[in-house]
Amino acid sequence: MAADNSLYKRTLTALVLGPLVMGAVLWLPTPGLALFLSLVVLGGALEWAGLAGLSGVAARAAYLVGGACLMGLLWVQPALRFPLMVIGAVWWLLQGVQLARVRRIDTRRGLDLHLLLTGLPVLIAPWAALVHLHQIPAVGPRLVLALLLLIWTADSAAYFVGRRWGRVKLAPLLSPGKTRAGLYGALAGALVAALLLAWALSLTVWGTLLVVLVCGVTVLLSVVGDLYESLQKRRRGLKDSGKLLPGHGGLLDRVDSLTAAAPVFALGISFIVSL
């Protein structure tokens, strides 16, 4: 009964949030979408501060003000978005290497200054990526929507393939529910989404191959983002990053995959569209 109730809450929340996010992407002008996304980023930053052990209302408020100021700077100085996107993509690639080396998880009680300091650039890099994509003439909003659909497709494929054929765990210490079969399912879903995106953009064979590569790397990094957040929650002895979304936990629990995936997708797709 409890499981059914949780599934009901998850489904209801997804049915509400999905159309809301897609509507914002397709119908809001870029400044409006940037503002909408900034609220999501600040909500995620608040939960990130909790994972880093930052306590006190004043300290957390200052952290959010810092995040808002950084996004404001990136809005008035768009040239700074590209280097931040590159830093974000490289940072997540390095995290993938680091996660593969994790052999034990130690509980942390105090302030994790390194996690706290990396939080704002890590969370704001995908904000910059989505704003950058949305501003691409003619196809921008559809590219943002394509990224969202790519992540959702990969997540759904991983879930169903993992339930049906999952035997070998992908990272049992970090996330016991993930399997290698689920990862293969996610990559298969990415292939389908990539081919549809290439068709929608009327790309050549070479362009299609590049899109497949970008989407594959994007999905792999989305898994890294999910596992990284799982690691931080386990270090704090938490099941969810927050309680904002019924059946889903916190905002970070919903956007961890997108956070890691957005910078590399934006960089790759921007290059392909410019060819």
Question: Which residue segment(s) compose the domain that 204 sits in?
Answer: 2-274
Cα–Cα distance for residue pair 110/26, rounded to 1 Å: 42
Domain count, the chain: 1
Q: What is the pLDDT of residue 12?
A: 65
Q: Is 254 helix (H, G, I), strand (E, B) or coil?
A: helix
Block mean pLDDT (10 aa), the chain, length 275:
49 72 92 96 94 94 97 97 97 95 89 94 97 95 96 92 93 92 96 96 96 97 95 89 64 90 97 90
pTM over 0.85: yes
pLDDT for residue 249: 66
Beta-carbon-side half-sphere exposure of residue 115 (alpha carbons within 13 Å): 21
What pLDDT, on the 0 to 100 scale, is given for residue 2? 42
Output the pLDDT for position 16. Answer: 73
SS3 call for 179: strand
pLDDT of residue 18: 78
